[in-house]
Amino acid sequence: MEYMTIQEASQLWGITSRRIQVLCSEGRLDGAVKFGRQWAIPVNAEKPIDARVKSGKYIKTKGADDAE
């Protein structure tokens, strides 16, 4: 299996290398393997969908308003 570095994935997907490090550490990139301090990402890995909140509105959990 062939691998690419975080920097190569960053250029390919158009996102920052730090964001890719976070995705790897969260286990959101299938097949990503850590060798020491470096991540190896499979060449055929797809860019995951961005699951971060973009609207600025956060989902309230049950019990958050109970303190009022």
Residues contacting residue 34 through CB under 8 Å, at least 6 positions apart: 24, 40
Specify if 63 maps to a domain: no
Residue 19 has a pLDDT of 93
Specify if 68 maps to a domain: no
Specify if 54 maps to a domain: no
The residue range of the domain holding 32 is 3-42
pLDDT band for position 2 (50/70/90)? Answer: very high
Specify if 38 maps to a domain: yes
* Residue carrying the six token digits 């250029």: 11
pLDDT digits 0-9 by tens, 32-68: 999 999 999 999 999 988 777 777 777 666 765 555 5
Specify if 64 maps to a domain: no
Specify if 55 maps to a domain: no
What gap in Å lies between CA 29 and CA 48, rounded to an integer?
7
Structure tokens at 50: 């961005």
pLDDT digits 0-9 by tens, 3-41: 999 999 999 999 999 999 999 999 999 999 999 999 999
Residue 67 has a pLDDT of 56
Q: How many domains does the chain have?
A: 1
